[in-house]
Chain A
Amino acid sequence: MPAIVRTPHPRERRIVFKNVDREGWTTDIDCYLKDGGYEELKKALKMQPLEIVNEVKASGVRGRGGAGFPTGAKWGFIRPGETKPIYLICNADEAEPGTFKDRYIIHQDPHQLLEGMIISCYAVNARLAYIYIRGEFPLGAKIVEQAIKEAKEHGFIGKNILGTGFDLEIYVHRGAGAYICGEETGLIESIEGKRPYPRIKPPYFPAALGLYMSPTIVNNVETLCDVKHIIKMGGAEYAKIGRPNNTGTRILCVSGDVQKPGYYELEVGGVTLGELIYDICGGIRPGHKLKAVIPGGSSAKVLRADERYKIKTKQPDGTTVEEEIGIDDIRMDFDSLATVGSMAGSGGVIVMDDSRDMVWALNNINQFYGHESCGQCTPCREGSLWMQKITTRLLDGGGADDDADMLKSVADRIAGRTICAFGEACAWPTQSFVAKFRDEFLAYASKNGNTSSKPENKHQG
């Protein structure tokens, strides 16, 4: 149980988090079975695998790990009649700063994850699956291993599952503290026993050349749980939750300077950012005003409290209307956050009030990315460290007037120039913080009286 347990907010719609913090709930399989557990597995095993893939496609569910890629489409990449073995991996390497949802599924409701995973394996014909769980969840790994053992004893995992002839083994694979393992091809390399250097795409799309160079599906914990509920209610019914192209529920994780930080399972796009912060999370700490929000994990571009956006919305009659909105009006869904230039990402919302120093905040984020860059691509390995050094020197009093431009210049040279999306993940915070809070960066620099960060070149000419 977490240290602070709250009853679900009335606006929540708890589907995946139904059992989280539930009175009398345990991780024991008997508890899960008494609550109707593994019924969807039985239902799914009576369906054709392709039918399940089609239900997931119809549900419109998009990956909950960060990229928001449609799960059904991902599964559809597995070629019919594939002769190589197919693998499925559950990405439980939850590590995007600001995100804390998979932790609770793993620690409190492991059988829900397993049920979703077994159904998914059956749908894509995977006979061997791994749960890649971050190294910092040692208890979580034990809980999931125990759950696997129980599920095996009940015939839900192993040979000839429930007499259907479908065989499946699931194993836990623990990470060891590297954020890059959340990147799916880095994760695959990690399971192969190598350094987790992400692979270049193309050709190494996991669905074509994944684990052991075989087709592999990598899905987030929450996404795999969603599959269970899609089977329960049917894809079309599931698609009615949320908004078009942004279906289902999502667990939004709110942290930072709100009165009631925590996890809230909401219909995707069911609330605006303002409703989330003020109605659900009780608003900003007393005596303070909102200053900035990072809406989708630390990689997402920061939003400034007084920003205005011109967005086009489609009317029911098919016409589009342009309207101007503030950050409070942004719908918390994939498309709306993309429209305002940020992203829904992993659902981690970090709120900062007017007591916070944006140079300090960016420096904290830059230290994270500087530490976590895997070092494979030069722009990211060098650039992430330079961004960290520059924000550090600004804080320490050694910055210069052109440091804001220098930061932007470094970030612009990382994004789009690396093998994996870590390049963007580390560049976006710097690009957005510097663009939106430029005055704060300049104010630090002017305190020092240095006009240029470049050393005088006495040997020039």
Chain B
Amino acid sequence: MEIPQALADHIDEVISHYPVSKRSATLPLLHLLQEHFGYISEEAITWVATKLELEPINVLELVTFYPMLRQHPVGKHHIRVCRTLSCALGGGYALLDTFCKHANIEKPDGQHHAHLLKSADGKYSVEFVECLASCGTAPVCMINDDFYEAVSEDSVPELLKKYQ
């Protein structure tokens, strides 16, 4: 696992934000490694543990707890559709289906809570997430780190064109 110098410097800077306990930097470090590598490998877990003088289990237990941390790569572009009540009232479920259709993602029938789904070519992945805190402009979604609100089903093909 190669950590470029800029990232290593950033990591050291982040650790300095926690003068009382280095362990506090576990989650921020996992964010940084996931941003860089796309997911958190076993090697990354060991690396963080060594860096922060922890046991690997202290790191792994966070990776398995937090929904945003993942141990496998997602699609090149990752779509998160809000599933929760206000967005569901505003068409969130239909929006997820529309994303699946236009991103060539096969969605198994009868699943209320779709887990992470990926297109065969690996270009897109989609998942339901819980309340994104923009209930007044339902339905909402995120594509990678970009946030979109009041997303109509008709706008999906155009939206996906931005993410090639």
Contacts and interface: CB of A to CB of B under 8 A. Distances in A.
Contacts, number: 160
Nearest to B59: A193
Contacts of A261: 135-138
Contact of A356 (B30, B89, B112, B150): B89
Interface in A127-153: 128, 134-139
Contact of B135 (A102, A350, A372): A350
Contacts of A192: 21, 23-24
Interface string A98-117: 11101100000000000000
Contact of B136 (A128, A212, A262, A364): A262
B133 A364 contact: no
A190 B27 contact: yes
A257 B88 CA distance: 11
B28 A173 contact: yes
Contacts of B52: 193
A348 B136 CA distance: 10
Interface residues of A, number: 61
B17 interface: yes
Q: Which of A97, A103, A257, A361 has the most chain B CB atoms closer than 10 A to its own CB?
A: A97
Contact of A100 (B88, B134, B142): B134
Nearest to B142: A136
Interface in A157-205: 171, 173-179, 190-196
Contact of A2 (B27, B65, B149): B149
B140 to A, nearest CB: 9
Interface residues of B, number: 48
A256 to B, nearest CB: 5
A368 B25 contact: no
B34 to A, nearest CB: 9
Contacts of B130: 95, 97, 177, 179, 368, 371-372
Interface of A: 2-4, 85, 94-100, 102-103, 128, 134-139, 171, 173-179, 190-196, 211-212, 253-257, 261-263, 294, 298, 348, 350, 352, 356, 361, 363-365, 367-368, 371-372, 374, 392
Interface of B: 17-21, 23-28, 30-31, 52, 54, 58, 61-62, 65-69, 80, 83-86, 88-90, 112-113, 129-138, 142, 145, 147, 149-150
Given A194-B23, A194-B62, 16 more contacts: A95-B131, A99-B135, A134-B133, A135-B31, A173-B17, A175-B27, A175-B66, A177-B130, A178-B67, A190-B27, A195-B62, A253-B136, A255-B138, A261-B136, A356-B89, A371-B113
